[in-house]
Chains A and B, each alone.
Chain A
Amino acid sequence: MRSPRPARHDALRRRLLRSLVATLTGIGLFGLTLPALADGPWQRLEATQAVLGGATPSTRGLVLDLPHVSEDGSAVALTVGFDGELEENDYIERIDLFAVDNPSPEIATFHFTPMNGKPEVSTRVRLNETQDVIAIATSHQGERFATAREVRITVSGCLMRNGNDQPEPLSSPRVSVPSSFSVGEPEEIRTLINHPMETGLREGPDGETLPRHIIERFTVSVNGETAFEAELHQSVSANPYLRFHLAPENSGEALFEWFDDSGESARHEVELSVG
């Protein structure tokens, strides 16, 4: 009824291409006729190659959600998660994020455990300019998955600002947990803490480069057992925000800790009730 929508057509074409490749691979012609489908920006970046360790990642199952266009590169909302298939007993152990054209491409590494229940994280990142953002997931048994999304960064004319308040480092840790959990049901946990996440690349008012000062590590443990960890780099926005899941087996004490590169840390404890 309506005119063709190229976006959809592209997706369809890609799907067709993929099944075509599957067929061709099956009969041993792969490589002769079509470029490798695992081709992606992760093949051109040293940092991503290091995580891949020579493996060719599957491009299925890892989902990276970012706006196509962002009007404020200082805080771009990002969600990454895995909803593909894995062998029985295998689980996603780690997800790495990269911004190809940032001064240093590493954004963050998230370490999951079976206690997360669902390998998905949301955060906010800094993107210097229009570029590809890459996610790579690694399973416990060493399977690799990769995906990339292009984000266009524009600074909207009406968004020009001239305020510059710096937050007090490691102040106001905030954690939101559901009032109760059911066994085996992952629930959303949200955390936020104030910190300038100074990149080490910016000039202060006196023209001197401000030293790097960032939160490097965030950990969550439940009853003393590590449930989730995040390594953060300077491409994570000021006032780091992390949303992830927990599926604790038993009620108990959850400890949230943030560590910055000056040796300081902040902590927050909450009681989790499983019922």
Chain B
Amino acid sequence: MSQQHKRDGFSRRQLIKGMGAASLLPLIGGVAPFAIGGQHAGRVVVVGGGFGGATAAKYLKRANPAIEVILVEPAETFYTCPFSNLYLGGLRDMRSIAHGYDELTDRYGVRVIHAMAEDVDTDSREVILSTGRHLDYDRLVLSPGIDIRWNALEGYDEDAADKAPHAWKAGPQTELLRSQLQDMEDGGTFVMVAPDNPFRCPPGPYERASMVAHYLSQHKPRSKVLILDAKDNFSKQGLFTAGWEQLYGDRIEWVGLSNDGRVTRVDAGRLEVETEFGTVHKADVLNVIPPQKAGWIAERAGVTDDSGWVPVKPDTFESRQVENVYVVGDATVAAPMPKSGFCANAQAKVVAAAIAASLESRPAPEAYWTNTCYSLIGPEYGISVAGVYRVQEGAIAEVSGGLSPADAPAETRALEAEYAVGWYNAICQDTWGTST
């Protein structure tokens, strides 16, 4: 233990005194940790500063400021996937979906380290960072989001993503896709390859198709959107289809699995894709949303199963496979909860409460979660799906839920578009303390 403390600049000793404040007190050598202050409440390392991780860090501190919380996230600015489709549609700029970590450090006393977690040793309970530093933990929270399963779709590797962006993690990929759209000639076809379940944000591809169609209708009126889907059904399908017809006529074409929509080969150089039964589609802009898995650090920590995702105990989101490791967000198998930012945020609060309780040897409070996924079909046309979840018979179950009405007047759709903005501001405020 003491060895690890030396390797780690932020030793436990250092932090016992500072507690909430970003403690940069001088190290008091040779004094046993528990001698000072006497209030050491445990150290939690959180990997990933997205929706799940940032929320977990903040709510751990809110649950008990005496817990030492270290957040490990390489990026200094986090771009949200939520509303990145609006950027593609020309409704927002990238700055409006950018968030930082100042509130977490300044207000809540979370120690933020901008580095990559490279490995986890769950026996000695330490996280090894890209800087070479080792961080020991009492409890570990992983919220690494998704990683792409490169080559799971033939021809789609990291180089292919430079030509046919996935833009399924917001940032440079999103900007690349936007610039390709802007450079496309009028009359071109935007082809989207949509994946089979499970994947990040079930309605995301269809909101993106809507936003791209919106942009095209304004700037390239002769252009089309073609969605090639590996599924026969998708989230809010009836609502999307009706909205597309109403706003975009036949600009958006969707081809499902049973009509040979599943793409089995990508040729990013030629901007071509081939489907299972041999149809080749040529794109002018090609957006491939490929098969996904839990962020790779989850595999390093030994918490993934052969599906590539992380099974968790439903009432605490502790790993089923490794003790003291809690996993939240897209990386987990939490169905029927979808892989959404809202769910990651809600799960993180449950984890924060469960960890705070376990550090005091109290039982975890009873868990429940809510989720609402808004999607914009047009700037003034919003739809949503909502759910409430509880643990029933040892598994997460949806106990109530609902969808926007099918035949709603334009005012309802316009109101939901406004609510979507309200939701975005609220969740970002809750997660990073910043909104635009």
A residues whose Cβ falls under 8 Å from a Cβ of B: 1-3, 5-7, 67-72, 74-75, 77, 152, 154-164, 167, 172, 174-176, 190, 192, 194, 238-239, 241
Contact with A along B129-164 (1 / 0, CB 8 A): 000000000000000000000000000000000000
Residues of chain B within 8 A (CB-CB) of A156 are 197-198, 202, 235, 335-338
- Please determine whether A167 and B335 come into contact, CB atoms closer than 8 angstroms: no
- Please determine whether B278 and A67 come into contact, CB atoms closer than 8 angstroms: no
Tell me the minimal C-beta distance from B352 to chain A in angstroms: 22
- Please determine whether B277 and A190 come into contact, CB atoms closer than 8 angstroms: yes
Residues of chain B within 8 A (CB-CB) of A154 are 335-336, 395-396
Q: Does B411 contact A (CB under 8 A)?
A: no
A67 contact from B121, B201, B235, B307, Cβ within 8 A: B307
Residues of chain B within 8 A (CB-CB) of A172 are 259
Give the contacts of B258-284 with A (CB-CB under 8 A): 258-260, 276-278
- Please determine whether A174 and B260 come into contact, CB atoms closer than 8 angstroms: yes
- Please determine whether B307 and A155 come into contact, CB atoms closer than 8 angstroms: no
Known contacts A1-B123, A163-B241; is A158 also within 8 Å of B233 by CB? no
B236 contact from A1, A3, A160, A192, Cβ within 8 A: A160
The 8 closest A-B pairs by CB, nearest first: A157-B387, A162-B238, A158-B338, A239-B258, A158-B202, A154-B336, A3-B122, A163-B238
- Please determine whether B338 and A6 come into contact, CB atoms closer than 8 angstroms: no
Give the contacts of B391-417 with A (CB-CB under 8 A): 395-396, 398, 401, 403, 406
B residues whose Cβ falls under 8 Å from a Cβ of A: 120-123, 196-198, 201-203, 231-239, 241, 257-260, 276-278, 301-302, 305, 307, 311, 320-323, 333, 335-338, 340, 371, 373, 385-387, 389, 395-396, 398, 401, 403, 406
Given contact pairs A158-B236, A190-B277, A239-B258, enumerate 19 new A-B contacts (beta carbons under 8 Å).
A1-B121, A68-B307, A69-B307, A69-B333, A75-B257, A155-B398, A156-B337, A156-B338, A157-B371, A157-B398, A158-B373, A159-B233, A159-B235, A161-B235, A161-B236, A162-B239, A162-B403, A163-B241, A192-B260
- Please determine whether A71 and B233 come into contact, CB atoms closer than 8 angstroms: no
A-B contact pairs, 10 of them (CB 8 A): A2-B123, A2-B322, A5-B321, A72-B231, A74-B233, A75-B233, A156-B235, A158-B385, A162-B237, A162-B406
- Please determine whether B258 and A167 come into contact, CB atoms closer than 8 angstroms: yes
- Please determine whether A160 and B385 come into contact, CB atoms closer than 8 angstroms: yes
- Please determine whether A7 and B260 come into contact, CB atoms closer than 8 angstroms: no
- Please determine whether A7 and B278 come into contact, CB atoms closer than 8 angstroms: no
B258 contact from A1, A70, A164, A238, Cβ within 8 A: A238
Tell me the minimal C-beta distance from B317 to chain A in angstroms: 15
Residues of chain A within 8 A (CB-CB) of B241 are 163
Residues of chain A within 8 A (CB-CB) of B278 are 176
Cα separation A166 to B50 with both chains bound (whole Å): 41
- Please determine whether B234 and A161 come into contact, CB atoms closer than 8 angstroms: yes
- Please determine whether A159 and B371 come into contact, CB atoms closer than 8 angstroms: no
The chain A residue with its CB closest to the CB of B404 is A162
Cα separation A190 to B260 with both chains bound (whole Å): 11
Tell me the minimal C-beta distance from B10 to chain A in angstroms: 24
Cα separation A97 to B273 with both chains bound (whole Å): 34
Residues of chain A within 8 A (CB-CB) of B333 are 68-69
Cα separation A239 to B256 with both chains bound (whole Å): 11
Q: What's the A-B contact tally at a CB cutoff of 8 Å? A: 131
- Please determine whether B258 and A194 come into contact, CB atoms closer than 8 angstroms: yes
Residues of chain A within 8 A (CB-CB) of B196 are 77
Cα separation A164 to B237 with both chains bound (whole Å): 9
The chain A residue with its CB closest to the CB of B240 is A163
Cα separation A72 to B120 with both chains bound (whole Å): 34
Residues of chain B within 8 A (CB-CB) of A7 are 305, 321
- Please determine whether B237 and A161 come into contact, CB atoms closer than 8 angstroms: yes
Cα separation A246 to B97 with both chains bound (whole Å): 53
Majority secondary structure, B binding face: loop
Tell me the minimal C-beta distance from A206 to chain B in angstroms: 19
Residues of chain B within 8 A (CB-CB) of A190 are 276-277
- Please determine whether B385 and A157 come into contact, CB atoms closer than 8 angstroms: yes
- Please determine whether B336 and A5 come into contact, CB atoms closer than 8 angstroms: no
Cα separation A206 to B111 with both chains bound (whole Å): 62
Tell me the minimal C-beta distance from B387 to chain A in angstroms: 3
- Please determine whether B302 and A163 come into contact, CB atoms closer than 8 angstroms: no
Tell me the minimal C-beta distance from A256 to chain B in angstroms: 13
Tell me the minimal C-beta distance from B302 to chain A in angstroms: 5
- Please determine whether B305 and A2 come into contact, CB atoms closer than 8 angstroms: no
Cα separation A160 to B237 with both chains bound (whole Å): 8
A160 contact from B301, B305, B307, B401, Cβ within 8 A: B401
The chain B residue with its CB closest to the CB of A195 is B258
- Please determine whether A158 and B122 come into contact, CB atoms closer than 8 angstroms: no
Tell me the minimal C-beta distance from A77 to chain B in angstroms: 8
The chain B residue with its CB closest to the CB of A152 is B395
Cα separation A70 to B333 with both chains bound (whole Å): 10
Cα separation A154 to B401 with both chains bound (whole Å): 14
Residues of chain B within 8 A (CB-CB) of A159 are 197, 202, 233-235, 338
Residues of chain B within 8 A (CB-CB) of A158 are 201-203, 235-236, 338, 340, 371, 373, 385
- Please determine whether B232 and A71 come into contact, CB atoms closer than 8 angstroms: no
Known contacts A2-B123, A7-B321, A156-B197; is A174 also within 8 Å of B277 by CB? yes
B232 contact from A152, A160, A239, Cβ within 8 A: A239
- Please determine whether B302 and A5 come into contact, CB atoms closer than 8 angstroms: yes
Residues of chain B within 8 A (CB-CB) of A241 are 258
The chain B residue with its CB closest to the CB of A157 is B387
The chain A residue with its CB closest to the CB of B201 is A158
The chain A residue with its CB closest to the CB of B232 is A75
Residues of chain A within 8 A (CB-CB) of B259 are 172, 194
Residues of chain A within 8 A (CB-CB) of B232 are 74-75, 238-239
Residues of chain A within 8 A (CB-CB) of B337 are 156-157
Known contacts A155-B336, A176-B278, A239-B232; is A2 also within 8 Å of B302 by CB? yes
Residues of chain B within 8 A (CB-CB) of A71 are 197-198, 335-336
Cα separation A272 to B130 with both chains bound (whole Å): 55
- Please determine whether B302 and A160 come into contact, CB atoms closer than 8 angstroms: no
User: Which of B120, B371, B385 neighbours the largest number of chain A CB atoms within 10 Å of its CB?
Assistant: B385
Cα separation A210 to B311 with both chains bound (whole Å): 39
Residues of chain A within 8 A (CB-CB) of B371 are 157-158
Tell me the minimal C-beta distance from A244 to chain B in angstroms: 14
Tell me the minimal C-beta distance from A132 to chain B in angstroms: 16
The chain A residue with its CB closest to the CB of B199 is A71
- Please determine whether A3 and B335 come into contact, CB atoms closer than 8 angstroms: no
- Please determine whether B235 and A160 come into contact, CB atoms closer than 8 angstroms: yes
Cα separation A74 to B231 with both chains bound (whole Å): 11
